[in-house]
Amino acid sequence: MPPLTCHTCKLDATQSARLRELLIDRGYFFGVAPPYAAFSAEKEKVKVVLYESGKLVVQGKGTPEFVEFILEPEVLQTARVGYEEVLDPDLLLPRLGVDESGKGDFFGPLCIAGVYVNAGIVRAWKESGIRDSKSIGSDRKMAELAKCIRETPGCIFSVVPIGNEAYNRLYKTLRSVNAILAWGHARVIENLMLQRHRMDPPPVRAISDQFAASKEVVGKALMGLGREIELVQRHKAESDLAVAAASILARDEFVSRLDKLGKQLGRTLPKGASAAVDKVAKDLVDERGSDFLKTLAKVHFRTANRAAGLPEPPKKEWRKPPKAPEG
């Protein structure tokens, strides 16, 4: 597997100043900084970019050495590289990670994936580059990492794609994306638990992103076997390796199916929701009628109304849910 070639962290003003001093002392070359960057410096096998927000990005083959011998001891004054298992005992726990892809894409399905990891798998992936799919820049890299996940000995996974026609029927019945997600997450967890005899050792919990205001949305959707393990929902759950792996499998499945849909139509279906998406949607409606969108898009999106020349539904004002009373 390829070595770690990218590391990010957040620095405060004092740490940023200290890093700059160290780079100057060690003879780093300061080049033209990219937009919104305070500075960019490089030397031999490593490049360092500090953004005005305090985000630090370290890239290159020399990344592990830079982090271990310069960044952590002299700037952060912590030691994580090489000590992750000591600092985070939960890192090696056998667990399931669940994530989805396609929720914000007008064209293409909604794909939910789940991955089982144990200590051996975590260690095998240590330098693989497996991370949240949103931080992976190309579909090709996504496919490579998905292949690595699927071929890792002991790794059990499940992917549940919800095609557009099924998705639109579910939305018409449930009237909520969160309700569809809850069903999909519960289905994936159940699929994995049906294979728990292949997991060594069995998982102690399932981890997923908290996409609904109430954690009970997924909890209530869990099926028989899914209720046998602890369900942990938290924001930015993709920081957990199991969830990150699930996000990669889900995105790879989404991209593959979207590409297949496009080839069947003889045109590229753009990702996300944008002006480019609006144009393709309108062209398809003009050519084949608005009902055709149901076969390849999520028609509750405002894009569908615009493509059909219909008025858009009023926007609902988002309000933060009330805090539950203490005690």
Of 289 and 76, the one with more pLDDT? 289
Q: What is the pLDDT of residue 323?
A: 52
**Is pLDDT at 243 greater than 60 in this prediction?**
yes
- Tell whether the model's pLDDT for residue 96 goes beyond 80: yes
Whether 1 has a pLDDT exceeding 70, the answer reads no
CB 218 within 8 A of CB 182: yes
Residue 78 pLDDT level (bands cut at 50, 70, 90): low
262-291 burial, b if ≥16 CB within 10 A, otherwise e? beebeeebbbebeeebbebbeebbeeeebe
Q: Which of 157-161, 213-217, 230-234, 244-248 has the lowest mean pLDDT?
A: 213-217
pLDDT at 3: 54
Q: What integer best gives the mean pLDDT of the chain?
A: 89
Check whether 311 has a pLDDT greater than 50.
yes
pLDDT band at 255; cut points 50, 70, 90: very high
pLDDT interval class at 72 (50, 70, 90): confident
Residue 193 has pLDDT above 90, yes or no: yes
pLDDT, residue 217, reads 86
Residue of higher predicted confidence among 116 and 44: 116
Upper half-sphere CA count for residue 302 (Cβ side, 13 Å) = 9
Query: Residue 101: in which H helix or E strand, if any?
Result: strand 95-101
Helix locations, the chain, DSSP H: 13-25, 63-66, 84-87, 119-124, 139-151, 164-174, 177-193, 216-221, 241-265, 275-288, 302-308
The pLDDT score that the predictor gives to residue 210 is 87
> What is the model's pLDDT at position 192?
97
Sheet containing 6-10: give its strands across. 6-10, 55-59, 46-51, 37-43, 29-31
- Burial (CB < 10 A; 0-12, 13-18, 19+), residue 247, is buried
* pLDDT above 90: percentage of residues in the chain: 66
Q: What is the pLDDT of residue 315?
A: 74
Q: What percent of the chain has pLDDT over 70?
A: 91
Domains and CATH numbers, the chain: 6-82 (3.30.310.10), 89-256 (3.30.420.10)
Mean pLDDT confidence for 1-20: 83
How confident is residue 84, by pLDDT bands cut at 50, 70 and 90? Answer: very low
